[in-house]
Structure 1
């Protein structure tokens, strides 16, 4: 249906008049090329349209057609293992139709209408259903059961439901509502991307999201259903951290949004993920991944929509009762798109030209994370953890996007370019990072891993902070001016940095570390510190302690396989024997 006429074009912003029947956030198509756009502002009968495609050669007089609905995502079987652009157009199908570059006006359905899925009902005719109830399952791939749920607003009794091969548009069940009307239920749902999906209740996150990255899990953990940000300058390893978490995190589904970053980074994901084996299932990691790609050479305006597209898909899988992780790389590029559109709308700018509502938009995005009791009679628990990279220019953490993000998220993994240049990965600075979930999650660690976990974590962090203070003294008056006990602290802190915090993603035993092994590694290093400190008090020289044969074994504890954790106990026994031998030998000399 034709709504109005274009009167001006300024980059991705199109102004149209005669739009009396339109609503804000409605989807429209502009010109007879049907360029996809979204109404972002209404003033009388004039609408400002954010166009998600190239607008060159577009001029006044072009028609504007209404879609009659807001920007929405298609939800149903077929999402996993797919790669979409920022407005959920499948890039593999577009490549088949138009080649390596997206032609203007290309319109492709997000989900395949021809594939038939084997629907297996879990309810029967006569059962009462509410919004969110699971009525059946589809094997989306070999590792994920896709749960077909009753859409929002439907409540009643199942009149008919049957097993069989169906497309996503076929009716799989008929529900008779309380007013007597009958509703056909299909496997396809649509949901407006800017509106969070409803749930019964949000809970306080209590379980850690295990990533296998020691600096994260032990020192700065994030909860399942929590929020985290990874700020850092160019080249400090933001993408490396996100890739590692996407590969190894203890989640059922990963949604990875490449928002304005370079295309080769998404290419790395596409090349690596199909080859990586999921340790939980033995299948390709891609089988539980959805990719949203709106890279730096794609339309800037669509960056703003891409993170909403990603989080709407993530919420859908959360509502099935799955644990979902959303990676956004990076929210700074999203904010730049927001700034460009705000400037073209001639809105009053805030700090550094960003719109005054930057903070509230970021908050709306992060607030869609959480551990929730999903809608439906069985009260499923689903979690959505949101982790976003932030790319402050020059690594300046005082810039508006970083500061607005830090006011919202509860975990800050501050990346340090000096660590990255020293090839220390993950390059997370242990002196500036923090986790507001730490106190609650350490209780979980004490109960589920070992009762001494939180105590060891606090001791290790204190040593690393003490190292920073001692290094200031060393720079002023030299290493030899320190006492033997302080010199020992520097040696143990060095061991913590090199043998515990530093990980090599290309070494199988080091790329991922389970919590139990993390505990034993930390315990072994700190036990050496305690025993060496006692030996110093008994008159042993530090140089003798540092030349013990067990020191070389301590430097290789990360190589101990996770199925041979008893070797940590053996190593600790050897360590104790060697130190006791030194003490005994000194006593004999006396």
Structure 2
């Protein structure tokens, strides 16, 4: 039954309404309790209590709501339903399944007050037990397996707040998420469904140093600025610089087991593209639909602002749930700036003392709370899992000195700075290699050395050195022109040109170049390095720089990215470049 048909119990009455902020009188409530507001039962959350006045942020449009209407307190904080059925689903910011609501309303335009459980309560799942009578289980232990999607097995766990005990009864077969599948000697009944407060991190044993990269298939990220599984990253950039496309690429190709994509206050057309594209996409690692390991949370810019504030918590709580099963989860938040703007609006309506640029004084603390929930963990059940948090930031006018960007940079360890000038030059991904950085490089190098090539760190450092030198030379070129430079510096600029065009650029819309494995990334780099070494030998032998840079084989470097049989192509190309350059002297 929808909330529009719900009769709201009068635990308190509305005193005033200011946009999404409602005050109630005579309401016996605690901080963060979920309440139902007004005759229509709009969902809200207690955010301030002062004497007899309780302040509530409402997750829905409040027009038409007035003083004197009832407010009902549930007595519980905002929680999410956790269990099989979370994947291949699209939610709003407070975990209401949008497809279920659309079926209920018969329209994509939702009425206020409608509600639905986060997971289907009537659907039966085939439960395959992993424990037997007499086994002793503890919080977090896996008691059974359910095939949630064609890609992911859902592990039914003892809830973290359980006391544990000896199994006295275990069932096998098809059950709904609310039916008991395991009974313990203390009388506790375990079902497939759990609930967890979104603002509270799920418990873990220890947080460990991550040492495995989250391979994205994007050359500039894997090659120069890698992120670890369990790491944190920020993608700041102005409008049109490619934040959303970069996050889409990560969601499609990052080697995480589970993807949680949170569209937080972004334009509806961008979220529509995600919703339309993802069900059609093939998972490159399994060949199954990508949605089979993805959960989408859509809270677009035209949706109520208060729900935007909760959607990132909803997303990371779902991510932690799959982490507890031992999966590697990648969470994309697009964008945390819109989340911060929602906090600013609610804070201003509460008449709190503003901080920098009107943001609340606790902005940095809230950002820290979110990103700190990412990490590589040893779980309470002995397994290991990770949550990688990648947040897009939308600084107004591309100003990286604004508060959200600056506070985010103090927290995250990977910074992918998008550049509007690169985007205007059609250089994509438009990540500025002079401003970006990764603090994970040293701890991830052993993995690349073991799994790709021994000299991976040295090759990466060579790229950084060449690009740094190019940046210095470009300042001179703008003053006096390229021809005024010595020939060795002109040659360095030509090598850097191939690094930019063949290595740093990547076509997200080309069926082959859209994903580049680390092995291919390495071979592209070593091909350019081969050209560099042979070209400088020719220069030392007296060959004019114009002849060196006009060698016939060189343009083929830019085509390595689109080659499927790249190993054979690179071997032939290296040999061709070497032969043609040596023929000059």
For 1:265-314, what per-residue CA distance to the aligned partner results, in whole angstroms no more than 9, with x for missing partners? 11111111111111111011111110001101100110000000111111
Retained in 2: the 8 A contact 1:81–1:289? Answer: yes
Aligned-partner Cα distance in 2 for 1:110–1:570: 55
Whether the 8 Å contact between 1:406 and 1:412 is mirrored in structure 2 is yes
Aligned to 1:578: 580
Q: Secondary structure at the match of 2:512?
A: helix
Does the alignment pair 1:159 with 2:168?
yes
Residue 95 (structure 2) pairs with residue 92 (structure 1): no
| Aligned pairs (5 A) from 1:417-428 | 417-428=420-431
**Alignment partners' CA distance in 2, 1:260 and 1:202:** 31
Alignment pair present for 1:52 and 2:54: no
How far residue 564 of structure 1 moved from its aligned partner, in angstroms, is 4.2
The equivalent of 1:491 in structure 2 is: 494
Residue 23 of structure 2 aligns to a residue whose secondary structure is strand
Distance 2:51 2:155 in 1: 44
**Do 2:205 and 2:379's aligned partners in 1 also have CA atoms closer than 8 Å?**
yes
- 1:187 corresponds to: 192
Residue 171 of structure 2 corresponds to residue 171 of structure 1? no
Q: How does 1:219-258 map to 2 (within 5 A)?
A: 219-258=224-263
Q: 1:394 — aligned with what?
A: 397
Deviations 1:169-199 (A, max 9, x none): 11111012xxxx3111000000000001001
- Provide the secondary structure at the position in 1 that maps to 2:584: helix
Q: Does 1:114 align with 2:119?
A: no
Aligned-residue offset at 1:538: 1.1
Q: Runs in 1 of length 4+ with deviation above 6 angstroms?
A: none
Q: Deviations over 1:477-511 (max 9, x none)?
A: 11111111100110010100011111111212210
**Root-mean-square deviation (CA), in Å?**
1.0
Give 1:448 deviation, angstroms: 2.0
Q: Is the 8 A contact 1:161 1:172 kept in 2?
A: yes
Q: In structure 1, what is the equivalent of residue 87 of structure 2?
A: 80
CA distance in structure 2 between the aligned counterparts of 1:556 and 1:263, rounded to whole angstroms: 36
1:2 offset after TM fit, Å? 3.8
- Asked if residue 314 in structure 1 is aligned to residue 319 in structure 2, the reply is yes
Give the Cα separation in 1 of the matches to 2:484 and 2:576.
Answer: 32
* Match 2:376 to one of 354, 371, 374: 371
Name 1:477's counterpart in structure 2.
480
1:577 alignment partner, SS class:
helix
Aligned counterpart, 1:17: 25
User: How does the TM-score come out when normalised to structure 2?
Assistant: 0.97
Q: How far apart in 2 are the matches of 1:123 and 1:151?
A: 15
1:500 is paired with a residue whose SS is: helix
- TM-score between the two structures when normalised by the length of structure 1: 0.96
Contact 2:80 / 2:195 at 8 angstroms: preserved in 1? yes
Q: Is the 8 A contact 2:309 2:339 kept in 1?
A: yes
State the distance in 2 between where 1:103 and 1:548 align: 66
1:265-280 correspondence runs (5 A): 265-280=270-285
> Partner of 2:113 in structure 1?
105
Deviations 1:99-132 (A, max 9, x none): 1212111121111111110000111111110100
Q: Over residues 29-85 of structure 1, what are the superposed CA-to-partner deviations in whole Å (9 max), with x where a residue is unaligned?
A: 012211000001111232110000111111111111011210000000111110000
Distance of 2:15 and 2:132 partners within structure 1: 56
Aligned residue for 2:11, secondary structure, equals strand
- Partner residue, 2:444: 441
Q: Are the aligned partners of 2:534 and 2:582 in contact in 1 as well (CA < 8 Å)?
A: no
Which residue of 2 is the match for residue 587 of structure 1?
none
5 Å matches for 1:460-471? 460-471=463-474
Q: Does 1:61 align with 2:64?
A: no
Q: Distance in 2 between matches of 1:107 and 1:67?
A: 14
Paired residues, what number?
575
Q: Alignment partner for residue 143 of structure 1, among 146, 151, 155? A: 151
1:3–1:22 Cα contact (<8 Å) kept:
no
1:128 to 126, 133, 136: 136
How far the C-alpha of 1:527 sits from its partner, in A, is: 1.4
Given that 1:138 and 1:147 are in contact with CA atoms closer than 8 Å, whether structure 2 keeps it comes out as: yes
Question: Unaligned regions of 5+ residues in structure 1, if any?
Answer: 584-590
Aligned partner of 1:207 in structure 2 is 212
Aligned partner of residue 279 in structure 2, secondary structure: coil
1:332-347 to 2 correspondence within 5 Å?
Answer: 332-347=337-352
1:6 to 6, 11, 14: 14
CA distance in 1, matches of 2:470, 2:62: 56
Q: Tell me which moved more, 359-368 or 442-451.
A: 442-451
SS of 2:188 mapped into structure 1: strand
Instruction: Point out the more displaced range, 37-46 or 303-312.
Output: 37-46
Uncovered stretches (5+) of structure 2, i.e. residues with no partner:
1-8
Deviation at 1:163?
1.1
Shift of 1:406: 0.6
Q: Distance in 2 between matches of 1:552 and 1:218?
A: 22
Q: Structure 1, residues 447-491: CA drift from partner, whole Å, max 9, x if none?
A: 221111110111111111111111111111111111111001100
Shift of 1:93: 1.1
- The whole-number CA distance in structure 1 between the counterparts of 2:345 and 2:358 is 9
**SS of 1:556 mapped into structure 2:** helix
